[in-house]
Structure 1
């Protein structure tokens, strides 16, 4: 489907947990992901909280960070999950060129 729909779904889910509705119930508990036109892979990654799958589908890094934090992942936990997708960077000082 549309990558926009995935971004909108994740953003709305994160916001549902942040918005103060005047109750002690987390708004994410009754979140309806069927309101979004997600592909089968997108829906599965979202429902399963598959960080690597969401990254591979193209979820923006900043939104992925917010999603992971809202889903209860510690920074080191999702950093380890995403480590295989990173590229090694060789840095050199100006004097080493």
Structure 2
């Protein structure tokens, strides 16, 4: 993974705050890897991490594209941002 990214945007949906770190259009593939469930869930239960792969990149070169934080597990957008950053920090450390 590359250096820890900054939050670009947060969208509140019905079920999740979608905390975006990188533009999905920058990737040719986006996945929600199973290995990210444990570190994400240790910060916020049922949180998900989406990773992206750039076309032509190394097969192992996946970067965090976004973190989905369940709306019912945090008080507001600010807490969703904080928890998403904690998840990214945990994964990239």
Query: If the TM-score is normalised by the length of the shorter chain, which range does it land in?
Result: under 0.3
- What TM-score, normalized to structure 2? 0.26
- The TM-score with structure 1 as length reference comes to 0.26
- Higher strand fraction: Structure 1 or Structure 2? 2
Return the structure number with greater helix share: 1
Give 1 or 2 for the bigger CA radius of gyration: 1
